[in-house]
Amino acid sequence: MKTVQQYKICRRLGPGVFEKCQTAKFAASEARHAKNSKKRRPKPLSGYATQFIEKQKVRFMYGISEKQFSNYIKEVVNHKGTIATDYLFELLENRLDNVVYRIGLTNSRRLSRQMVSHGHILVNGKKTTVASQRVQIGDIIAIREGSKKSVLFGDMVNKMKDYTCPNWLTFNAESLSGKIQGKPKNIEGYIDLNTVLEFYSR
């Protein structure tokens, strides 16, 4: 997706949707856009519009299709014994492409999907090309030995110096591998999954 398209989506849904929208360049673009656009009082959103926007925010953030997301919702509805929002967050965060991003091997989920689909990533020693593969506690995510010399992973040790993994993940810079050591928690609060579930329950 082109940067211009991402900027438009972030303007509508919020800067947290894409990594490119969390930069000084996007902030400068927003300042120019605000200066050139006519000042209009925003219309209040209906309940449906609020729910739809939140759903779209989550979809674009994780880079999943409507069909994939609907399947996640169906699984959440049929799953018993856990809080629905917690389980939905786990399904989203435990996608392999997201874990590769969260570990810090890439600076965007989009690039993580490309890395997985091109066969650069191993799960428990086995190559996989399925970005949506679900990882579990104890799984080890690593860069394929033949890919370590790629420019994609050049100077990874220095790149990782200032990065801190979420507390449910660990990363070993020497072996270029990470491990799932717990369940993800939605502590950032950027996405409102209650609102998303309300949208699908209409």
Q: Which CATH number fits the domain that encloses residue 163?
A: 3.10.290.10
Nearest residue to 184 via CA among 103, 117, 105: 103
Residues 6+ apart with CB under 8 A from 181: 137, 138, 168, 169, 170
Q: Give the whole-angstrom CA distance, residue 138 versus residue 116.
A: 19
- For the entire predicted model, the pTM comes to 0.81
User: What pLDDT tens digit does each residue of the chain (202 aa) get?
Assistant: 565 566 666 666 666 666 656 666 656 665 665 566 655 555 677 888 889 989 999 999 999 999 999 999 999 999 988 999 999 999 999 999 999 999 988 888 999 999 999 999 999 999 999 999 999 999 999 999 988 888 777 777 677 777 888 999 998 877 889 999 999 998 887 889 999 999 998 8
Residues 8 and 67 in one domain: yes
Residues 68 and 106 in one domain: no
Domain residues for the domain of 62 are 3-34+45-83
Residues 100 and 78 in one domain: no
Instruction: Specify if 197 maps to a domain.
Output: no
Instruction: Specify if 20 maps to a domain.
Output: yes
Residues 70 and 128 in one domain: no
Number of domains in the chain: 2
- Greatest C-alpha distance within the chain: 56
**Are 76 and 91 within 8 A, CB to CB?**
yes
